[in-house]
Amino acid sequence: MSELIHLEERKPLQAKPDQSSLTFGEVFTDYMLSFEYSKEKGWHDLKIIPYGPIELSPAAQSIHYGQSVFEGLKAYKHEGEVVLFRPEENFKRINQSLERLKMPKVDEALLLEGLKQLVDVDRDWVPDGEGQSLYIRPVVFATQGVLGVHASHEYRLLIILSPSGSYYGGDSLSPTKIYVEDEYVRAVRGGVGFAKVAGNYAASLLAQANANELGFDQVLWLDGVEQKYVEEVGSMNIFFVINGKIVTPELNGSILPGITRKTVIELSKMLGYDVEERRIGVEEVFELYERGELEEIFGTGTAAVISPVGELQFKGEKIVINHNKTGTVTQQLYDHYTGIQSGKLEDPHGWRVVVPHYER
Ligand code: COI
């Protein structure tokens, strides 16, 4: 049995939200995991504490220079057990993000153990409604209060938990409208596009708001050099079904290596599809549509799950994909993916990780 992490008890516990009206990321559980770093001590003081406001120096380097990285994963309830989905992948990726921002790496196994104990303490918060889960948000940020552009000597890691419904509101399988961004770019090779850093999301907000004003849900980013090749959507990786084959942009350093992306590629192969990871031009997408060869488009992400794209607009030209309906490939992948996550289907790869009941 693993050593128990210190728990600072919260009294009284909060009232739980009404499960029938859960939105995304607005309600938080009773506890969070906290870990601190200093140059002298390294990572230390791992503990579970009541969720709540934290103290931060107004000079904290994360606020001024953006040293902040995060992750997103989910826990599900199935037949009385709580399971995590491929959590080791998130801790592997957080280390890649940390390294890119010159932040100290974490012990992946220790953090996974910390997460299991945290989720165990808050297990009554895991919702079990259709499309609902406990969204898990690890975040690491620089806390040293000193001005000057250099890597901070102090950091804090928190894992917070939020019982959530669908990311886009309503049904995860309602087709989304996507605006192909032709002015701003998200990332360039050699930059931080492959890392899950807070700044990537800040940089996306203006284009996202402009697209929302025009009636679109999300922005599709093109490559930052030629603005010709498809990269990813605001909070998702993107996939195309072309003549029965599944095509997704290859990872090139500026695209986020999504864990749902990776899982969907593995699942698609398992289901017998040909999968191609390659460069795909936005003009090629429109040409394929004209020739009747573009059958479906969908996005993938932890928060967004598998989300069909119903409309795509580029430089004033709009195409409607699969009559704005969820396609059969998208539906099949969604059913398999969510079936394995929730425990309704077999898990041949061992992607589900059961959260143990710890004796406290
Ligand atoms: C996720 O899918 O978990 C994300 O982090 C995307 C978004 C909520 C920022």
**Cβ contact 340:347 at 8 Å:** yes
| Pocket test residue of 238, 302, 305 for ligand 1, highest count of atoms within 8 A of CB | 302
139 within ligand 1 shell (Cβ under 6 A): no
Mutate which of 235, 260, 300 for ligand 1 pocket (most atoms within 8 A of beta carbon):
235
Q: What is the pLDDT along the chain (360 residues), one digit of tens a residue?
A: 579 999 999 999 999 999 998 999 999 999 999 999 999 999 999 999 999 999 999 999 999 999 999 999 999 998 889 999 999 999 999 999 999 999 999 999 999 999 999 999 999 999 999 889 999 999 999 999 999 999 999 999 999 999 999 887 767 788 999 999 999 999 998 999 999 999 999 999 999 999 999 999 999 999 999 999 999 998 899 999 999 999 999 999 999 999 999 999 999 999 999 999 999 999 999 999 999 999 999 999 998 899 999 999 999 999 999 999 999 999 999 999 999 998 889 999 999 999 999 999
CA of 287 to the centre of ligand 1 (A): 31
d(CA 248, CA 240): 6
pLDDT of 1 reads 59
Cα distances from 49 to residues 117, 118, 121, 134, in angstroms, run 12, 9, 11, 18
Please tell me the residue having the least CA distance from ligand 1 atom 3. 72
Measure 136 CA to ligand 1 centroid, in angstroms: 10
Which residue owns the Cα nearest ligand 1 atom 6? Answer: 235
Neighbours of 224 (CB within 10 A): 18
> What string of DSSP letters covers 233-261?
ETTBEEEEEETTEEEEEPP-SSS---HHH
**Ligand 1: nearest atom to the Cα of 70:** 5
Task: Return the pLDDT at 169.
Answer: 73
Extract the tokens encoding 88: 């080791």
DSSP string for 279-323:
--BHHHHHHHHHTT-EEEEEEEETTTEEEEEEEEEETTEEEEGGG
Which protein residue has the closest C-alpha to ligand 1 atom 9? Answer: 235
pLDDT computed for residue 173 by the predictor: 86
Note the pTM of the prediction, 2 decimals: 0.96
Q: Are 142 and 152 in contact (CB under 8 A)?
A: yes
Q: How far is the CA of 72 from the centre of ligand 1 (A)?
A: 6
Bridging pattern class, strands 31-38 and 42-50: antiparallel
- Nearest ligand 1 atom to alpha carbon 135: 3
Q: Exposure pattern of 274-298 as b/e (b: 16+ CB <10 Å)?
A: eeeeeebebebbbebbeeeebbbbb
Burial class, 112, CB count within 10 angstroms (exposed 0-12 / middle 13-18 / buried 19+): middle
| Closest-lying ligand 1 atom to the alpha carbon of residue 73 | 3
Q: Which atom of ligand 1 is nearest to the CA of 303?
A: 2
The number of beta carbons lying within 10 Å of the beta carbon of residue 349 is: 12
Task: Assess whether the C-beta atom of 299 lies below 6 angstroms from ligand 1.
Answer: no
Q: In this structure, which amino acid lies at residue 356?
A: P
Take residue 281 and report the two structure tokens written for it. 């031009």
Ligand 1 proximity of 303 Cβ (cutoff 6 Å)? yes
Atom 8, ligand 1: residue with shortest CA distance: 303
Rounded distance from Cα 235 to ligand 1 centre (Å): 6
DSSP 3-state of 222:
strand
Tell whether ligand 1 has an atom less than 6 A from the beta carbon of residue 301: yes
